[in-house]
Structure 1
């Protein structure tokens, strides 16, 4: 076969087209043009929508195992939490049941003694349920907002309690909401009584310092009979809180030789940081008969005490 008839062109595998740099510049310019065109004219938006619609079932199927594992973990975690809450609720229910039986017996004995001594019955404290909406915006006070106001008959000064004890007092009433100042606020004070000794004192809010969110019994003598664990209840002498409501427990007693007063810190019984449902009671002063007014005697003068 003559050599002149052979095809001297290189095979397709060895054929060279445009250089790699030329291809890079062309495709980069094309990509830049497409990005600008897509940004200005949204030309690929229908294509994206179509691709997303087509791929959605695939994405849904691919996410099923992940969501199943996540839901299983959340289920077991919530199950353990629910079991722990149920156990705590059963213990508290048993304690409340025992206390209710004791209170019923004591109430019966109290009623018999009052009838024997011809004393008036204790004042009842009707109330209504409310829900905590949010905390007050002022960071220097301890207040919450509830969903009951003047339209529901809430009065300024009404005591507010939760399932564990005294939460605070209504300090401002609006038509549909009310502002409740918590007992741990620095401006709040409440007369209390030590159930072990019967001694009366006043608990003040202590929202700052090392004992933030606690109560402090002030003006107590250094040798006062107060011990950690003593239960403090409302004394009922202020005309606001009914007597016998749990307020707090003594947590720490500091007796110093250089001071005639003891530093007594108490932990509130109510959930001052997490209350959701509360009870608003009527102030005791609203049920007490008004103080009689001295009527002037003949001649316009009020007679002095001890003289006719």
Structure 2
């Protein structure tokens, strides 16, 4: 064997050009150059845009199975939700139909009893629609500003409600806007009536335990109050008409160390996030004024 074939160099037939170390150095320098140039001058942006445009059809085809599965899943979920809502709507419609029949009968009986006893009918409050503009700036209160004021006939103390129930009361009026104190404000109170038992009480705003809560105070520990009871306005304050939904009893705590029960309420009206409200005329504006006292002095004794 010739001695020239024992060196480490490959024969001329297998030569591949530059060595691997040279290629690594050249390509590393080129990569660093391209990264610096792209970071500083964005020279690779046109190439990147062209590659993204060319690969978009491939990506779109690759995403078809995932999109199909997502659409099928969403369709099945929406179908199930629609069926559940339909069942709930049928149940609610049936219950409302039965309740409507009862209401018609009770209304007829009420009218007959009032005619029999010669009682004055309940007054119907005038209403005015308004829109909530924004929340009050004070973070320690729960108040909103509506777009109706003194020029539109808004009166101080007017009840404010939405489609669900009582929201609050007008506590300050301006020429074009008014300030409404919500029922969850800590300084707000409203007389209520338990629909189930007929017991009267006073509901206060409670922001200590929850940001959107109320509390029924000064109720005895053994009072007949249960979770789920509905509280309506009693109408004894001369402001709110009777029968407006106010809150629902969410929790009742009875302790042996106090004579009063701790009763937590959840407002029925949408006190957070409502946009349109109805402002009612206060009941006191519909009640006839108190007659003037007789100025004639009453004589005391029987002497002449």
Q: TM (normalized to structure 1)? A: 0.74
Report the more deviating stretch, 49-58 or 239-248.
Answer: 49-58
Partner of 1:298: none
Partner of 2:278: 280
Report the more deviating stretch, 92-101 or 163-172.
Answer: 163-172
In the alignment, the residues of structure 1 paired with residue 186 and residue 297 of structure 2 have an alpha-carbon distance, to the nearest angstrom, of 41
- Asked if 1:200 is matched to 2:200, the reply is yes
Equivalence map 1:1-308=2 (5 Å): 10-13=11-14, 15=15, 17-127=17-127, 140-142=140-142, 148-150=147-149, 157-171=157-171, 180-209=180-209, 213-272=212-271, 276=274, 279-285=277-283, 287-289=285-287, 291=289, 303=295
Q: How many residues align?
A: 291
Q: Once the 2 structures are TM-superposed, how far is the Cα of residue 244 of structure 1 from its aligned partner?
A: 0.8
Query: CA RMSD, aligned part only?
Result: 3.9
Provide structure 1 residue ranges, at least 5 long, that are not aligned to the other structure.
1-7, 296-301
Provide structure 2 residue ranges, at least 5 long, that are not aligned to the other structure.
1-8, 300-304
Task: Verify the 8 A CA contact 1:123 1:284 in the aligned structure 2.
Answer: no
Task: Verify the 8 A CA contact 2:127 2:281 in the aligned structure 1.
Answer: no
Task: Verify the 8 A CA contact 2:192 2:234 in the aligned structure 1.
Answer: yes
Q: TM (normalized to structure 2)? A: 0.74
In the alignment, the residues of structure 1 paired with residue 296 and residue 57 of structure 2 have an alpha-carbon distance, to the nearest angstrom, of 95
In the alignment, the residues of structure 2 paired with residue 219 and residue 9 of structure 1 have an alpha-carbon distance, to the nearest angstrom, of 103
Q: Once the 2 structures are TM-superposed, how far is the Cα of residue 289 of structure 1 from its aligned partner?
A: 4.8
Task: Verify the 8 A CA contact 2:193 2:201 in the aligned structure 1.
Answer: yes
In the alignment, the residues of structure 1 paired with residue 87 and residue 174 of structure 2 have an alpha-carbon distance, to the nearest angstrom, of 40
Say if 1:252 and 1:48 are closer, same or farther in 2 by CA, change over 3 A. closer
Q: Once the 2 structures are TM-superposed, how far is the Cα of residue 93 of structure 1 from its aligned partner?
A: 2.7
Task: Verify the 8 A CA contact 2:126 2:281 in the aligned structure 1.
Answer: no
Q: Once the 2 structures are TM-superposed, how far is the Cα of residue 208 of structure 1 from its aligned partner?
A: 2.3
In the alignment, the residues of structure 2 paired with residue 252 and residue 9 of structure 1 have an alpha-carbon distance, to the nearest angstrom, of 90
Report the more deviating stretch, 174-183 or 189-198.
Answer: 174-183
Q: Once the 2 structures are TM-superposed, how far is the Cα of residue 232 of structure 1 from its aligned partner?
A: 2.0
